[in-house]
Every structure is written in structure tokens, then in C-alpha cells.
Structure 1
Amino acid sequence: MGSLLESNAAAAVSEPSSQERVERLIAQQPQAVVALLEPGFRAGDDSRELLMLLSRAYAASGSRERCESVTTLAVQKYPDSLAVRVAHAESAMACRDWTAADERWRVIESGWDEFSDFIFLRHARVCVERDDLEQASTLLARFLRYRPGHAGATALQDIVASRRAKKYRVELVKIDEASPLSLELAADQRRIGNRRALSRISVEATMAASAPASLIVRRGEAAEAYPMVPASQGHAEALEGWRFSGQLELTPGAEIGVECSGVEHWSYRLKLEPVMEVLVGQQNWLFLANDVNASIDLFTGQRLLSQEERQRWERFAEGFKALQRERSLLFLIANAKEKVRPERYPYDKADVTVTEQVKAIFEAAALEYLDPLATMQDDAASYYPTDTHWSGRGAYLAFRDCLRRFGYDDDVDSQFRFVAQDVVGDLGSKIDPPATSATTVVSFIGESAVRRAFANDIPGTGNITMFTNELARYRKTLVIFGGSSVGAGGFARLFAYLFQRVVTLNLPGSYVSEVVELERAAHVIVQTNERYLTQAGKLMESLDEANPVAIGGKLAPAAKAELKANLASQPVAEPYFSFSQAILSPPERS
């Protein structure tokens, strides 16, 4: 074996075509490859081929420091080699030096016009480790433009989204019981939120002292003072001491105290306590918990529609029914997972939930709607353990039911096939380490010419995607207004295999006349997720009513810049282009 190893490795150095053989040997016997190559390296052979092979052998054998040393030498000697630069970045990742890895991937992305799109994916993994979630999201979006549906990238995307949305509760831990400062969270701050929402907290502080006092905040080595005002100011009764009421910019671990007469008293430490976001049900099925829509309360009937919310739905139903008299228009409810699989859920369903209330309003108005709950419950593969959304199979079932409601009775089952695939999912990504489960992926069997004609790639609300298909069975246009379930399982894309043009807008429960009239849509679907039914649907005349400025306010500046550059490369399709620009433009200063 040794002679074979030696001959193959030697050949690989002189014959690039033989390199694949040595790569296999590196994976199988890295120490033997190191023993073979090191003498030549020590004798002065610093050819690019030898350095690259030796670095891989060091990495495979666990000699990370030696790998880093060799790749650093290779960069110094061959700075213009892309392969060497990639090995240098991979070496930093192996050493878990995420700062160095980030810098090295950036050098490649800015210094080379052409490189593998997988570099975006590798860099995104580094950014996740560095907790730079905005940059990770941007890199993943770039990668998925080239490789839509890539399992590894979509799994990482779920992890990024989960971390960005991870919920915390603010706690103030007293670190000095003798401190004269009394500090409480303001009433509006006693809530659950993500890190970004909780970066500014509202506090109310009082201090019993005759001399003027200041509230002080320490973040690491830096400290900042906030003047306190006499406690009697603004109160009906005179009080002794000083007070502060307002917002503070804080980071976890920051300390809060008071300074009076030149003496500092450090009294409290800020703590962000993670909040349980996932319920583990029967057979390890995962469900939402502590989400902003209060899924548990919705299922158990603790959260029902108020009178005002009922009236909003009644007005919507009246207007929607009037539109249905004029065109083919369907309201689609994407079922909550706990409704589809109640036997897996740890709570008992109430007889009446918000869903039943909304459906009663629809039925009273004779509004055409689709609640595919029974269909989903009858198919074990419609939902899966680690995600809130339907699977590819579930998306297909909803797609087929919509077709039937629109009057198409074609047998489409023979045109699609389903395969199993392990994925993380939006709930699995909230578990550490991430949990995976098998889902079904649907694909079209027949000849297809589906392509994305326009996509602004804005995450979540405001996303617009347009599909065209010159080989479509139906020379018609379909418009879908909906939420995250429109993309889940490939729901919207399924229609694109049959219709000549499909336009989707992420505006859950909304209908925009401007879009429907412009597209001369033969059919329109207005979709919303079941847990959103506390919010009545909206009937809008134009996209401007969707408030693009407010949508854009949720995006970080770096993400906006990336998306704006992508938008500039898109064909100008109005009004979608202008709407997207309004989302991505910085707000006007007053």
C-alpha cells in the first residue's frame, strides 16, 4: 500500500490528472500522505501543487495549525491563485477562527470576477458562527439565486431566520441589595421580543437622595450617564429623591446603577432570558410556542375575535363577495399544523376557535373559501415534524383542491412525483442542535419551460415573484396574494407548470385591484395562514396602500443595498419594480 500511495501522490504532484487518486488517499490515509510529502517540503519544494496537497493532508489528519501555516505560505507565494485562497479560507474555518475566515472569503468575493457560487454558502456558514445574521441572509440569497431549493442552503436559511426571530424576555438581576436605586421595567417593556426589538428597553428608576443623581449604564469598559430629574416633577404630590423614565440602549450583560455625590452604585445587570419557542409533542413533532400570534391560545380558544375584529371581517367578507361576483376569486386558509395533527399536539382543541368564527362570517356572506383541513388530515405526508408549513405533498393537495374549485377537473396526478428528503425546517432550526425530519418534495414530470421572469427576493412581506411558462397547458394568468405558505412546498410553482403566467405577492390575506386588473387574471387566490386570522383581510386599490416604507423599515441597510443591486438587474416590470424600490429606498428625513 505504501508504494502505491507513494507513486500515486508523486504522480499527482507532476500530473494534475492524477490528483483525484491522491484526494482519495488523503481521505483514507492522511498521515501517510503527510509522511510522504513533508520531506520534499522541508527540502524546499514549495510548489503550489505540493502545498495544496500537504494542506489538505494536514487538515484531514487534524493538524490544523500546520494546515494554517502551509496555506498562509501558499497565499504569500501564490496570491493570485483562487484555489489557494479558498484553501486559506477553509483552513481558518477548520481552526474555528471565524473572523479570519470572514475576511478571507471577502477577499475572494471582491477580488475575483468568477468563482464557484458555493463560496457564498461557505461564507454564510462563517457569518452564522459570527452571529452576523444579516450578512448570512444576504449571502444565502445570492447562493439560492444560482441554486434554488438547495437543501443545505435552505436548512441554513431556516437556522438564520430562527436566530433572528429568537424570542427573549428582559430580566433585571439585582447585583447589590444595598443599592439605593429602585429600577423597574416600564409596563410596555414587559413583553417577549427578539434581540433587535429588545436592544432598547424602557425603564423607570427612582433614587432617594437630596443631592442630584444620574442613572449610569456600563457596557463593557464604557459608561454613560443619564440625568435624573426631581421626583416631584410632573407628580401631584411632592416626592423626595430623583427619577428617570425613558429608553436605554442596552446589550445583554450591561450594568445599570446610579451616581450621586461622586459615588457610583452598580445595582442591576440586564439579562435576556431565552423563551421557549417550540413545543415537543407526541413522537417528537414540533409546534410553535410563545409566537406573536399566540398559537396555543388560538388552538385552546383562549384567544377569540373581539367585537371590533368581527366587524372588520364582516366588512371584508362583504367586499370580497362582491368581487367574487365579478371574477374567479378564492380565499384559501393554510391550516395550522396543530389542527392537522391534533393527536400529536399536547393541548386540547376548543370547540370554537378564531377559525370557526371567521368561517361562520364567510358562510353568512356566502363567500367562496377553501379550508383544506380534511384533505390534509387524510394524508399522513401533508405536514411533517420539524416545520410549521405544509410539505411538498401538502402543497400539492392544496394546489389540486384550488384547481377543482376553479373548475379544472383534469387528472394532474400523473404529472407530478414525490420524493422523500430530510430537512431542518423552521421549527427544527430552533432546536440546538437543529432537528431534521423527512418531508416530501414534489417535482413536475412533463416537459416544462417555467422560469422566474421577475423576483425582488425581498424576504417575507413585500416579496414578489413572477413565473412564466411558454409550454403551459392553460394560456392564462393566475395571481396569488399570500404569506409564507405560498412558497412552502413549492405551492405557487405548481401552478406555474400549468398556467402561462403566475404572479405571487407576499401580502397575506390581501387583494390588490391594481395588480389583478393589470394582469387580467383569469383566477385569483387570496391566501393566509390560519394563525393570522385574528387580522382581517384587506381589500386595496393599489400597491401603495400596502405601505412599502413600513415593510422596508424591517430590513437592515446592508440587506437593502444587496436587494437593491439585485433589483437593478431585473427587467422593469411595473408596478412591481416601483413598489420594490419604495421598500428598499431609505426613509425620507423630516
Structure 2
Amino acid sequence: MDKAWLAAQSEKSYLKVAGWIQRVRDAVSGNRSPLLTWCLDYPSPDHAPRFTHSGRVVQGWVLLDPEKADTLSRVRIICHLQPAFELCCPLELKRLDVIERILQQPADGHEQLSCGFRFTVPPDLHSFNLSFELDGQRWPLQRIEVEPAVAENTLLKVIKGHNDWLFLDNDTNFSIDQFTGRLQLTTRGLKSWEAYVDALKNGFGAQRSPAVMLVAPTKESVMGHYHPMTAAAVSPLDPVFALFPPGLLLHPVSELRDTLGDEAFFKTDTHWTHRGGSLAAALVARKLGLSAEHLDRLLASDRYRVRNHAGDLGSKLEPRMAAPASFLTSFHYGKWVVYDNGLPNFGRVIVIQYPDALEEGCCLVFGSSSSYSMFNYLSRFFRQLVFVHTAGNLDPSLIDAVAPDYLIVQTNARFMIRPPIADYNLKNTIIEKQDSLDCTAIERQAQIRKVSDLELVTSLGLEPWHVPVSAIDHEAAV
């Protein structure tokens, strides 16, 4: 007897039994699933793992009960990644093999032909859960546990768009999935954002400084016409932006696109250009009440020079790719830095004092990587600029201690799938970061660290966040 025929009959029998068991379970629970059966092709113990430039491939198919076949286009496969966000993937792949082998029906024109799904997850993700969703109802499918077969840093994190514009790919913030709309915030994620926005609106203690939250747009949202993929009609961050009162939020997508065009972002970098940082800084300052006329007059005298720039994307390519970009040459904030603890990323504290600034007051910035290109401008707007690298996380004790005249909260849009918190402990971050540095990082910190006016740091209320590093501080003092 034909072995293939026997295998097919065995598979059909299994499906009947499995379907019967599922229907019994659903009948008991009162929540009947429309799912007939499903299969996960990758990852699977039966196949070697598959990877693309975007990460680990997750691929499979689902079949519905015949009476529910007309709802197939509304089915979503949910990949639970973190409590705050998840992937929501439609059935987009035509699977002739499934229709012909499993249902033993002609595939041509079959109503469940597009029953396949495929997406990628980071290669270092060890485990995740899959669920089946239809019209707002969900049923669990499987928990996936895998061994990391490919180191994350061996996968290219760059995708090349039209006219050689470079964009992020395979990053921990799922930039591609955000752009295409496959990533969405969970109910828990949105509730965390609600709590954070409430904290921003209500202020902290007696401190009621003029405040604004600046969200640096993703490069894709401004330069999307160069991106090789199609943007979703609705951004996963739209529900978050809707939580903010208009006067508190600045997300300058249209301003950057309409005012600067191709000069808004580096062609080979994820960040906005110096001109982009200038525009963002001016928009923030206006929201904080500074005179538009004074700001325009100050910035009109700025001079720029074009040079090649590889950035955080072009430097990842082989060969390295660079493109011309304009850089401010008439001013550099570095001359006016009086304090810099030199820590990499989170936990870094920088104090800039520029005596000829437009405003006498102190501006406190809880910022991220996009803030750095704004220092050349913000430091000329506010006499004292205090920057802490927290990506928008707020430390109320720091706000109370500094009592700033102005408060800027800055994060990057691609980070917002992980809601920031309003009870951040900056001091603990600084101590933990300092203790975790290896020899190479300590040497790098020694080259950056600057403590030239500790008296000013103390007067600004920052002394509790100054963690002395004896050898480094001694060399700085000498």
C-alpha cells in the first residue's frame, strides 16, 4: 500500500481527533475556537533554525473550521514579546502545500489559501508565546523555547532604501515592525503610559516648571518615502500620543519633513542632523515660552560645513558607507561644559554653563541620544543646561533638588514601546553603571570625564548624584 496515502490518512485521523478534543475543551469553557488545526514550520525540532538579515524566522500556518473560513483575513497571530508590547501578524502567505496535503483539496481559488504567516524575532530571544486572535478574542497556541543559534551582533542591522538611504533593521526596538504596523502596545503598556503622562501633567511636589516632552521622530516617519517598505496607516504610538494634552507634547514629524526635507536626517545614521537638532531645539524653546524672534535671530548667524558622515548605520556596512551632511562650525558646547561624569549612555550627567545665553534660568533635560545634537543650541538658549541620560525616565528627587526653571523630557519614538517611568532612581543607575565598567570603558570615561566646577554642581543641587572616581577626578583636577 502507498506509504504517502497511509501517512495522509493518519494525518487526517489525527486532525479529526485533535479537532474533536479542541471542540470539547471549547464547549466546556464556553469559548469555542474557530481554529481547526495549525503548524509551526520554524522554529521546530524537525528543521534547522532559519535566519534572515532581520532575525530568527517564525513561520507556520493555520486552518479554520469550514464554517469560519470567511473570517481568515481577520485572523492574527500574536507573538507575546514583553508585557508592554507584542507583534500582531496577519495571514499573508499562500500555502498551496497546506491546502493540497492537509485538506486534500485543490489549492487554486481555495478560500483558505492565504493561511500562512511569517515574521522574525531577535535571534537572542530565548522564549516567547504565540496566540491566535480573531475579532478581539484570543486563544493560546504554544510557548516557544529555543537556543540562541546565531549571535545577535553577527546579523546586519541595516536596511538599504531608495537612493541609498539607510534605515534600522533587526534592532531591539523592532523598528521595522513599528513602521509596518505589526507591533502594538498591550493594554498593560498603555496603562503604564497613562500613569507616566499623569505624572508629567501633575508635576512633582512644589516644582511646576514649564515643561515639554520632545519625542524625536523615527527616521522612517520623516523619510519614509525612501524606505523600501510601506508604512502602516496607523502608528502603534498613536494611542500614546493621544494621551498627551497638546501643550505638553512635541513630535515634530511634519516640521522636520516640510522645513528641512532631506536635511532633516543623516542619510547614513538613525539620528537627525545638526540642522534637525537646531529646528527641534527651537521648537522646544518656543513651547517653553522663549521669544521666537530672539531664537530666529540667534540661529540665523550659525554657520555650517559639509563633510562626509558614516554614522551608526553606514559604519556597519562593508565597505563602510558615508554621505555628505552639514555640521555646525560656528559654535561648540564642549567649551562650556563644567561637569561630565563620562558614563556611557544611561546615567550620564552633563552640566553646561554659557554666560551669554538668551535666558538666565536653568533647564533640566531628561534625554536620550537625540539630545546630544541639540546641546549646541539649547546651551545658548538657557544659561545653565543640566542633562541626564535617562531616555525620558523621570527622577522626582532630582527635579526637586535642581528646581529648574524649565524642564525638557526627551525620548526617541522607537524607544516608546517600552514605557518610561516617573519614579526613576538616577543615583542607583550611576552607581551600578560605574561599578560595571571594564578597563576599556574606564579608560574611555577618563578621557571624557570633567569636573571643573564642583561648586556650581553643588549649587545646582546635583551633589548627591556626583559619584567620585578618585583616580579620574584627581587627574582632572591636576
Aligned to 2:407: 524
Match of 1:426 among 295, 312, 323: 312
Does residue 556 (structure 1) correspond to residue 442 (structure 2)? The answer is no
Q: Could you report, residue by residue, the CA deviation over 1:56-104 in whole angstroms, capped at 9, with x for unpaired residues? A: xxxxxxxxxxxxxxxxxxxxxxxxxxxxxxxxxxxxxxxxxxxxxxxxx
Does residue 414 (structure 1) correspond to residue 297 (structure 2)? The answer is no
Provide the secondary structure at the position in 2 that maps to 1:526.
strand
Q: In 2, distance between residues paired with 1:513 and 1:584?
A: 28
* Native 8 Å contact 2:168 2:270 kept in 1: yes
Aligned to 1:349: 231
Closer/same/farther in 2, CA of residues 272 and 327 from structure 1, 3 Å limit: closer
* Native 8 Å contact 1:321 1:367 kept in 2: no
5 Å-filtered alignment, 1:201-212, equals: none
Q: Which amino acid aligns with 2:254?
A: A
Match of 1:498 among 378, 381, 389: 381
* Native 8 Å contact 1:312 1:536 kept in 2: yes
Does residue 300 (structure 1) correspond to residue 186 (structure 2)? The answer is no
Does residue 482 (structure 1) correspond to residue 364 (structure 2)? The answer is no
Match of 1:385 among 255, 267, 288: 267
Q: In 1, distance between residues paired with 2:424 and 2:311?
A: 35
Q: Could you report, residue by residue, the CA deviation over 1:193-228 in whole angstroms, capped at 9, with x for unpaired residues? A: 6xxx89xx99xxxxxxxxxxxxxxxxxxxxxxxxxx
Q: Could you report, residue by residue, the CA deviation over 1:560-583 in whole angstroms, capped at 9, with x for unpaired residues? A: 365368658655435656546389
Shift of residue 358 of structure 1? 1.0
Shift of residue 527 of structure 1? 0.4
Aligned to 1:106: none
Q: Which amino acid aligns with 2:272?
A: W
Q: In 2, distance between residues paired with 1:498 and 1:484?
A: 20
Q: In 2, distance between residues paired with 1:386 and 1:454?
A: 31
Shift of residue 355 of structure 1? 2.1
Q: In 1, distance between residues paired with 2:208 and 2:403?
A: 12
Does residue 286 (structure 1) correspond to residue 170 (structure 2)? The answer is no
Shift of residue 543 of structure 1? 2.6
Q: In 2, distance between residues paired with 1:584 and 1:349?
A: 51
Q: In 1, distance between residues paired with 2:403 and 2:229?
A: 45
5 Å-filtered alignment, 1:42-441, equals: 192=122, 272=151, 274-323=154-203, 326-363=208-245, 368-378=248-258, 379-380=260-261, 381-408=263-290, 409=292, 410=294, 411=296, 412-441=298-327
Q: Could you report, residue by residue, the CA deviation over 1:377-404 in whole angstroms, capped at 9, with x for unpaired residues? A: 1112111210000000100110111111
* Native 8 Å contact 1:422 1:438 kept in 2: yes
Aligned to 2:398: 515
Closer/same/farther in 2, CA of residues 367 and 582 from structure 1, 3 Å limit: farther
Does residue 466 (structure 1) correspond to residue 348 (structure 2)? The answer is no
Q: In 1, distance between residues paired with 2:305 and 2:400?
A: 38
TM-score by length of 2: 0.61
Computing the radius of gyration over CA atoms, which structure comes out larger, 1 or 2? Answer: 1
Aligned to 1:535: 418
Q: In 2, distance between residues paired with 1:564 and 1:309?
A: 39
* Native 8 Å contact 1:509 1:536 kept in 2: no
Q: In 2, distance between residues paired with 1:523 and 1:555?
A: 32
Provide the secondary structure at the position in 2 that maps to 1:287.
strand
The size of the alignment, in residue pairs, is 329
* Native 8 Å contact 1:450 1:468 kept in 2: no
Closer/same/farther in 2, CA of residues 415 and 522 from structure 1, 3 Å limit: farther
* Native 8 Å contact 1:477 1:501 kept in 2: yes
Q: In 1, distance between residues paired with 2:56 and 2:184?
A: 28
Shift of residue 498 of structure 1? 2.8
Q: Could you report, residue by residue, the CA deviation over 1:473-521 in whole angstroms, capped at 9, with x for unpaired residues? A: 321111111110011xx30231112321111111001222333333331
Q: In 1, distance between residues paired with 2:359 and 2:444?
A: 36
Closer/same/farther in 2, CA of residues 565 and 386 from structure 1, 3 Å limit: closer
Shift of residue 344 of structure 1? 0.2
Shift of residue 550 of structure 1? 4.6
* Native 8 Å contact 1:466 1:503 kept in 2: yes
Q: Could you report, residue by residue, the CA deviation over 1:518-555 in whole angstroms, capped at 9, with x for unpaired residues? A: 333111110000100112122137533x5335544763
Q: In 2, distance between residues paired with 1:584 and 1:538?
A: 32
Q: Could you report, residue by residue, the CA deviation over 1:5-55 in whole angstroms, capped at 9, with x for unpaired residues? A: xxxxxxxxxxxxxxxxxxxxxxxxxxxxxxxxxxxxxxxxxxxxxxxxxxx
Shift of residue 293 of structure 1? 0.3
Residue range with higher mean Cα deviation, 463-472 or 449-458? 449-458
Q: Which amino acid aligns with 2:265?
A: Y
* Native 8 Å contact 1:564 1:584 kept in 2: no
Q: Could you report, residue by residue, the CA deviation over 1:89-132 in whole angstroms, capped at 9, with x for unpaired residues? A: xxxxxxxxxxxxxxxxxxxxxxxxxxxxxxxxxxxxxxxxxxxx
RMSD of the TM alignment (CA)? 3.8
Shift of residue 436 of structure 1? 0.4
Q: Could you report, residue by residue, the CA deviation over 1:385-424 in whole angstroms, capped at 9, with x for unpaired residues? A: 1000000010011011111111222233323222222111
Higher helix fraction (1 or 2):
1
* Native 8 Å contact 1:276 1:290 kept in 2: yes
Question: Identity of counterpart residues, as a percentage?
Answer: 23
Q: In 2, distance between residues paired with 1:168 and 1:402?
A: 35
Q: In 2, distance between residues paired with 1:393 and 1:554?
A: 36
Q: In 2, distance between residues paired with 1:272 and 1:565?
A: 31
Q: In 2, distance between residues paired with 1:312 and 1:170?
A: 29
Q: Could you report, residue by residue, the CA deviation over 1:446-488 in whole angstroms, capped at 9, with x for unpaired residues? A: x99951100112121111111111222321111111110011x
Shift of residue 426 of structure 1? 0.6
Unaligned runs of 5+ in 1: 1-166, 172-189, 203-245, 251-269, 586-590
Shift of residue 346 of structure 1? 1.0
Q: In 1, distance between residues paired with 2:151 and 2:300?
A: 52
Q: In 2, distance between residues paired with 1:553 and 1:290?
A: 30
TM-score by length of 1: 0.50
* Native 8 Å contact 1:450 1:470 kept in 2: no
* Native 8 Å contact 1:423 1:439 kept in 2: yes
Q: In 1, distance between residues paired with 2:374 and 2:163?
A: 27
Closer/same/farther in 2, CA of residues 297 and 492 from structure 1, 3 Å limit: same
Provide the secondary structure at the position in 2 that maps to 1:422.
strand
Aligned to 1:154: none
Q: In 1, distance between residues paired with 2:465 and 2:388?
A: 11
* Native 8 Å contact 2:167 2:219 kept in 1: yes
